[in-house]
Structure 1
Amino acid sequence: MLDLSIANQTLRSVPELKYVNADNVVRYRAIMRFFYQEYKRLRYWMKPEEVYTGVLEWNVLPTYTLDQCVSDLEQLEEWGNLASRHDGGRAATLEEYMKKNMQYLLRPYSIEIERLLETLEKVTGYGGSLESTLFDSIAEKLFAIRSMGWESSPEVALELWATLYDAFKRLHENAADYIASLQTAKAEEMMVAESFLIFKDRLTNYLQNFIQALQRSAYKIEGNLERIHESVRDMFLAQVVNTELDKPRLEETPSPDALMAELHQGWSNLHRWFLGNGVTPSELTLLERATKDAIARIVRSVIRMQERKRSGVSRKKELEHLGQWFARTQKLGDAHRLAGLTFGLFQTRHLQGEDLRHSDRAEQSMWDEAPTVRMLRSRSRKRTGKQDTEPVPENEERKRRERQFFLKRQAEEWEAIRELAERGRLRISELGTVSVQTRIRLLHWIGRCNSAPNHAFVTPEGVRVAMMNAKTKERTELISEDGELHLPDYEFVFALTEAARQAAVTTEGGT
């Protein structure tokens, strides 16, 4: 349900923006820009005479008068851009005091509007950048949050959150802008120009360095986020809220619930950006994919330009010189070396045939082996004569054998898993001598459990395998038919899912 207080605040009309598109926009913009520049010089309350003199110095309003300036200031005050107060300090008589001598102050909304307009004036494209150091900063701050204790000062928590979220916003906004700049029509025109060949190495190295930093730090960030439990997160955000509320404010202090909701939303944005929401890929994955696509586009553009340059050049003299070079070689080995240096490795072709070696000597050259004769069909579309049709091969017998072999292997796999699952609980040290297949299966289970966040997974047969002591220090020895393996004494707990129980009943009924 929509919060009405939020709706009234954020969805209202903005009269403070009227001066940007008003009829006398040049006069209003000049006054507001003068106020903003003086605000940055720490001058706040301005008199109409000071505003009038400052605007005239720009020579943009040659026929401007003081009365017009006073009228414009009153209009801007009516729109909410300026605040005013009566200036009676210089009055010497009662008449001078009663006369309207006002001073004007820029309001907070107007400050942000002028700051936005000043930023927009500098925009010439998407801009942005790929700052790889931000990944290290985010990973470092997340590790610091994970390592915080209850005795940490709230000021430290506020500083950590401010640095973390500022780095996250810069990373997201700058990377999005930079990748977008590579998709513009100007970038497409640049990539087909000859001058791009000089610039492409720097651009490619820039993108590749960013990808390497992303891949190097992404696992640290994801691991720290997964290890920060909700209790640690709530404790950390509560300290941030308390420190923020302790600041002395002249404006209205936000409520603790609203501030906590805002911080939770920021943390959710950070978590979704790096880990996703379980349905769609994370923004980090999309950024990596977009950067790789940009590198691929650059490489394709360079290849096309090089091919266009080579297409119009005749290589007849080069080929004639190379042919004479081959003709002068006296030995076949020299010709092979020359071909290797000239053409490199040819594309491999896999030809079916029986390898009948006459010697087991490892140092024997492939050129000394007897050739394997294999008849090749012509790929030419031109028919040289009548060709006999070949019947479609009958593969039913081979399919039947493969099906029987698969069912037999599946039954053996299920039987082995069922025997282990019937125990309910299994420790490596309790096993005797096991087969090679069982050893491979156990190692596969250990790898799956160690990589899962909760140290558990479900097999394709519907058996849930959970490792109870993933960080055990006890060691044991697994004896298999093909050797001995020293490893931690892990303990597994097995549980059949409903689908696995039904499969077991069906298997027993069929048996």
Structure 2
Amino acid sequence: MSDSGPDHDAARDAFARDDRLRLFAFATAEKRADYLWVLRAFDQARANYVVLLRAGEVAETLVRLAPDQPAGRLAPNEITPLLEQLHLWGVLERSYDGSRVATLAEYRNRHFVYQFSQVGYQAFRAVEDVLGARLDEVSLSRLALPDLLADLVELAAANRAADGDLIYRKLRRLDDTLTDLASRAAQFYLTLGELVRTTEITPESFLSHKDALLTHMREFSSDLARYAPKLAEAITGVEATGVERLIARAAASDERVMLPIDERERDWAARWAGLTQWFTAVESEVSESDRLREGTMNAIAAVLTLLRRVTETRRGGVSRESQLRHLAGWFAAAPTEDAAHALFQAVFDLGRPRHLSTVHPDADLIPDSRSWWEAPPVEISRTLAETGRPASPGLPGRVQRNDASIRRLRERQLAAQRARAAAASSLAAGGAYDRTLDEEETEVLLSLLNAALTARVTVSGSVRSSTGSENGVRLTLSQHETSTTVQTSRGRLHLDRLKLSVQ
């Protein structure tokens, strides 16, 4: 009778996940500080090319690593239970060291040595990375763009030369660089969003860094707009040499010998597809680089809004701190305790809690406007008291879906996207001057102008030119000796000492 099957595989995977999660138990245990310092001792020894440690050697290492911490005063007999528990969790591996036995008594005491397990070391490094992360070091990886371009050019040459090892190294480098670029951008905009949304911002610290912040985002947006077409062209050059041969050669040189060759090919094919999706648009969809540049321009607008808010706050002299100080003064100057309670009620309105939504059976006798401090108690259901939710009369009714309308709306949306892509191609082919643009081309031109003008953020000096891109079409806005005019279906568009270039 075989144990194989979907249910058996699911149970085995669930057991494996539970076994891996036990690796992080040391981070939440009662003696988590001692466990962490013990693992740091093993990490210090690993850096010195020492793999196996005894309890006494761990104690000696902790004396040097944590002289001012309680862990630095642990004796070997106190460290041994910690090592055994880490072994049970799977973070450390234990083996018997018979070579250090000098007497029969030592042999009977069973001297054990410990070392990191493979997944245990990864769990420890994950915890250390979280503890050592600094949220103020976020940045956009602008310098990664030329590295990506150079690696793509060398990848095409390596594929033409059938150099599998070089192809593998270049694909790994491209994957690592793009992963770092994406993660840095995500963390940067997450931190920037928290900065914009917070109400406890210090005006002095923000004003001292706003020029550097705007310059950093402007330079990244400019470099991304300049390198995105070059990267898309380089990707096309790599694909011209044969993507299937490229994937096969990379998988053959892949050092993960425990994976079958077909799984390695699927892995590298998925990574290459993700790389191409970043810089090339599929049909009418927007590439990830265009999304990132649009997000950068939106972030610039958000920072400018925050700058205006901070400036107005400093000029008006009213802030959250000054409001709280005035309120504290009113509380201190209240003549009586009842007056202070009345002021508290007027400011915070916490006299009538509504966390349990229920009314008295006789609403005319006990109105809702009466405070809970004065009204008699109201009987509530057991479900409301235990869960905070009123008793449900039953399951909700089935949601009626209009699939036909959804399908029609989706087809209409795709048709609009195709029409916009066709208008963008027509605008790039015919240019913006010496003809009258139709309605669709006018819409595309105005959206490109909006993107280009949004990027023209002046921190110091002057802006000579800016760009905007959409559906693979790039618009360059540059200074001109005279004003130019574009004929559109809506009328004439006059550009004061500016000239358009659409490619």
Instruction: Report the TM range for the smaller structure's normalisation.
Output: 0.5 to 0.7
Name the CA shift for 1:184/1:149 in 2 (closer, same or farther; >3 Å): closer
Q: For 1:61 and 1:195, how far apart are their aligned partners in 2?
A: 38
Deviations 1:438-493 (A, max 9, x none): xxxxx969938xxxxxxxxxxxxxxxxxxxxxxxxxxxxxxxxxxxxxxxxxxxxx
Q: For 2:45 and 2:303, how far apart are their aligned partners in 1?
A: 47
Aligned partner of 2:120 in structure 1 is 110
Deviations 1:228-281 (A, max 9, x none): 438722212222222224x8xxxx722212222221221122222223555753
In 2, are the aligned partners of 1:145 and 1:160 still within 8 Å (CA)? yes
Residue 269 in structure 1 maps to residue 271 in structure 2: no
Which residue, out of 19, 32, 50, partners 1:13?
19
In 1, are the aligned partners of 2:138 and 2:184 still within 8 Å (CA)? yes
In 1, are the aligned partners of 2:145 and 2:227 still within 8 Å (CA)? yes
Q: For 1:264 and 1:69, how far apart are their aligned partners in 2?
A: 48
Higher RCO (CA < 8 A, seq sep 6+): 2
Which residue, out of 301, 304, 316, partners 1:299?
304
Which residue, out of 182, 186, 199, partners 2:209?
199
Q: For 2:428 and 2:123, how far apart are their aligned partners in 1?
A: 59
Q: Could you list the runs of 5+ residues in structure 2 that have no partner in the other structure?
A: 318-424, 431-503
- The one-letter code sitting in structure 2 at the alignment partner of 1:17 is F
Q: For 1:308 and 1:200, how far apart are their aligned partners in 2?
A: 16
Name the CA shift for 1:2/1:142 in 2 (closer, same or farther; >3 Å): farther
Pairwise mapping of residues 277-426 of structure 1 onto structure 2 (< 5 A)?
Answer: 278=283, 280-306=285-311
In 1, are the aligned partners of 2:156 and 2:241 still within 8 Å (CA)? no
1:218 offset after TM fit, Å?
Answer: 0.4
Residue 236 in structure 1 maps to residue 246 in structure 2: yes
Which residue, out of 93, 116, 130, partners 1:120?
130
Answer with 1 or 2: which has the greater Rg.
1
Aligned partner of 1:69 in structure 2 is 79
- The one-letter code sitting in structure 1 at the alignment partner of 2:27 is V
1:306 offset after TM fit, Å?
Answer: 5.0
1:149 offset after TM fit, Å?
Answer: 4.1
In 1, are the aligned partners of 2:196 and 2:306 still within 8 Å (CA)? no
Which residue, out of 20, 33, 36, partners 1:26?
33
Residue 36 in structure 1 maps to residue 18 in structure 2: no
- The one-letter code sitting in structure 1 at the alignment partner of 2:48 is R
Q: For 2:175 and 2:71, how far apart are their aligned partners in 1?
A: 44
Tell me the number of residue pairs that the alignment of Structure 1 and Structure 2 aligns: 313
1:171 offset after TM fit, Å?
Answer: 0.8
- The one-letter code sitting in structure 2 at the alignment partner of 1:223 is E
1:203 offset after TM fit, Å?
Answer: 1.7
Name the CA shift for 1:167/1:9 in 2 (closer, same or farther; >3 Å): farther
Name the CA shift for 1:230/1:107 in 2 (closer, same or farther; >3 Å): farther
1:22 offset after TM fit, Å?
Answer: 2.1
Q: For 2:295 and 2:200, how far apart are their aligned partners in 1?
A: 19
1:168 offset after TM fit, Å?
Answer: 0.5
1:204 offset after TM fit, Å?
Answer: 1.4
- The one-letter code sitting in structure 1 at the alignment partner of 2:60 is T
In 2, are the aligned partners of 1:273 and 1:282 still within 8 Å (CA)? yes
Q: For 1:294 and 1:62, how far apart are their aligned partners in 2?
A: 47
Q: CA RMSD in A?
A: 3.5
SS in 1 for 2:93: strand
Q: For 1:88 and 1:239, how far apart are their aligned partners in 2?
A: 47
Which residue, out of 109, 130, 135, partners 2:145?
135
- The one-letter code sitting in structure 2 at the alignment partner of 1:13 is D
1:213 offset after TM fit, Å?
Answer: 0.3
Aligned partner of 1:258 in structure 2 is 263
